[in-house]
Amino acid sequence: MRLVLLGPPGAGKGTQAGLLAQHHGVPHIATGDIFRENVKGGTQLGRQAQAYMDRGDLVPDDVVNRMVADRLDRPDAAQGFLLDGYPRTVAQAEELDSILQARGAALDAVLRFVIDEADLVARIAARADEEGRADDSEEVHRNRLAVYREQTAPLEEYYAAKGLLRDVDAVGTVEEVTARAEAALVSARA
Ligand code: AMP
């Protein structure tokens, strides 16, 4: 299964991504997690990404695309993967299409986690308390939402036009949302 998850920051995408990836036996590839590991490890990639992340801006497409292409070359991704946080721009989506095309592969579905902004702000405040993420301050989160609206939301159209987009109501318990996501996957593959 080759799957992309879309949704604004704070929609609970990461939690669902982990559960879905485990259930379907594919690697959970979260670009934000890879960047955070690199920042922590002080790598060159981490140094390239950190200023953008701290502001809640997107890391430049060429940096992200190269990183994802390398990750998808690893053997564990040969039979499938779940991408969480990538693509985030139409240019990234086009690059993903060409990476997959070159391997004779294609996406099975794109799940969009749907939640309104008032719920998001409340969730992010809770996550900032629990995890202490530097990019969860209110100001940075507001920027991350604006970036999502401006640069990532156009992907919804991009994937809808390909018949790949499935909506998942992201309001509810983790179990409820997982069940909806699984049902959306069944409908996508029918
Ligand atoms: P996330 O954990 O997915 O919210 O990502 C945290 C931060 O990493 C984002 O705010 C961006 O600065 C950066 N990032 C993660 N994925 C991407 C991507 N696909 N394109 C550009 N920047 C990204």
How many other C-beta atoms are found inside a 10 Å radius of the C-beta of residue 153? 13
Q: Is residue 40 assigned to a domain?
A: no
Q: CB-based burial of residue 116 (10 Å sphere; 0-12 exposed, 13-18 middle, 19+ buried)?
A: exposed
Q: Is residue 177 assigned to a domain?
A: yes
Residue 121: the pLDDT is: 77
For residue 2, give the H/E element and its range: strand 2-6
Alpha carbon distance 25, 22 (integer Å):
5
CATH for 183: 3.40.50.300
Q: Is residue 139 assigned to a domain?
A: yes
Within 6 A (CB) of ligand 1 lie: 9, 31-32, 35, 52-53, 56-59, 64, 85-88, 92, 135, 144
Enter the pTM of the model: 0.93
Sheet of 81-84: strands edge to edge?
Answer: 28-30, 81-84, 2-6, 109-114, 165-169
Q: Which of 2, 36, 112, 144 is catalytic?
A: 144
Residue 87: the pLDDT is: 98
Please name which of 178, 57, 168, 159 lies closest in space to residue 115, comparing C-alpha atoms. Answer: 168
Structure tokens at 152: 């990532």
Percentage of residues of the chain with pLDDT beyond 70: 97
CA of 71 to the centre of ligand 1 (A): 15
Q: Is residue 74 assigned to a domain?
A: no
- 81 or 129, higher pLDDT: 81
Q: Is residue 175 assigned to a domain?
A: yes
- Domain extent for 15: 2-30+80-189
% helix / strand / coil in the chain, to the nearest 5?
A: 65, 10, 25
Our count of domains for the chain comes to 1
Q: Note the pLDDT tens digit of each residue in 45-62.
A: 999 999 999 999 999 999
CB-CB contact of 181 with 168 (8 Å): yes
